[in-house]
Amino acid sequence: MTEIPRRVRVVEVGPRDGLQNEKTIIPTEDKLRFIALLNEAGFPEIEVTSFVSPKAIPQLADAAEVFPAVEKKPETRYPVLVPNMRGMERALAAGAQAIAVFTAASESFTRANINMTIAQSIEAFRPVVETAKTNGMHVRGYISTTFGCPYEGAVAPQQVVAVADQLLALGVDELSIGDTIGVATPNQVTDLVPLLAERAGLERLALHFHDTRGTALANVLAALHLGVSTFDSSAGGAGGCPYAPGAAGNLATEDLLYMLHGMGIQTGIDLAAVVRASAFLASVVRRPLTSKYLQAALSAGEAQNGGVR
């Protein structure tokens, strides 16, 4: 076992991955308030929106309004999702300096999500990544369904490796390995991560867990022991799954930070400030968010304040 990292980079994806899965369409000004509260927590990176088709993701149709209005801190990176050249043009026009392209390890999911084969997605990204590099932008490459696919079931590590190799050949700076439907168990992490680390290097590898079946933190722990030091999470565990009422979505940032800080791992992020951002989001979506830490913090706060938050 590798020594676990002393410092971990937490990438906040709530404004994108969380909000794209919320049933309600959140007003632009509330998104901006949510992002401003997240900014106060000191994240190194906040994924703020997606320049995708508004028909595919109506929740993020206001990307061109949101992105320029976000108050940017010089030390923070604000990536946006881009699926094609049309998205790249919109991202550039909005002033984005970091992008993420996204494909998957299984064909059926790729078809359903971006209406392309995996091979077509790689070809679509080629000019996108070239343009990004010309403009000095940081490029993340997401691979979804790396531990299981809603249509195809099991996904073999070799399928993920094949896609990772193609994204790396395009020149992406970082890979984010997604458990899109939250099915992974730690043994799968142990099987897959070394194969990817061999290709990308540990420092270019992020893991992106969803907590749909309660295994996300166990998977993070397995990955920490393999030396992974970048994890994606979403404030409050926002998002859920639109097809499974009450189900947990992204690994909640609060739950991740609580575990990391408890283990003596530094993140530079203020957990109490994340709770404030999530409490605001919960008031906007008018339902409790799924983060265990958030629920505990809010009920402790209510007990202290006589029910007033």
Binder among 80, 94, 114, 184 for ligand COA (CB under 6 A): 114
Q: Which residue, 22 or 298, has its beta carbon nearer to ligand COA?
A: 22
Q: Are 234 and 287 in contact (CB under 8 A)?
A: no
E-strand ranges in 195-278 read 205-209, 230-233
Give least dist CB 250 to Zn ion, A: 5
| Strand arrangement, sheet containing 80-81 | 45-46, 9-12, 230-233, 205-209, 174-179, 138-144, 98-104, 80-81, 49-50
Nearest one of 57, 59, 44 to 83, comparing CA atoms: 57
What sign does the CA torsion over 74, 75, 81, 84 have?
A: positive
Separation between Cα atoms, residue 54 and residue 175, nearest integer Å = 25
Binder among 34, 51, 109, 293 for ligand COA (CB under 6 A): 51
Q: Are 114 and 128 in contact (CB under 8 A)?
A: no
Residue 278 site contact among Zn ion, ligand COA, none (CB < 5 to 8 Å, cut-off depends on kind): none
Give least dist CB 215 to ligand COA, A: 20
Query: Of the residues 64, 195, 221, 241, which is catalytic?
Result: 241
- In the residue annotation, 149 being an active-site residue is answered as no
Give least dist CB 175 to ligand COA, A: 14
Q: Which residue, 59 or 295, has its beta carbon nearer to ligand COA?
A: 59
Q: Which residue has the tokens 């299984």?
A: 106
Residue 286 site contact among ligand COA, Zn ion, none (CB < 5 to 8 Å, cut-off depends on kind): none
SS3 182: coil
Binder among 90, 140, 208, 210 for ligand COA (CB under 6 A): 90
Nearest one of 83, 80, 104 to 164, comparing CA atoms: 104
Binder among 17, 22, 62, 255 for Zn ion (CB under 5 A): 17
Binder among 39, 49, 59, 84 for ligand COA (CB under 6 A): 84
Q: Which residue, 85 or 273, has its beta carbon nearer to ligand COA?
A: 85
Active site residues: 241
- Binding region for Zn ion (CB under 5 A): 17
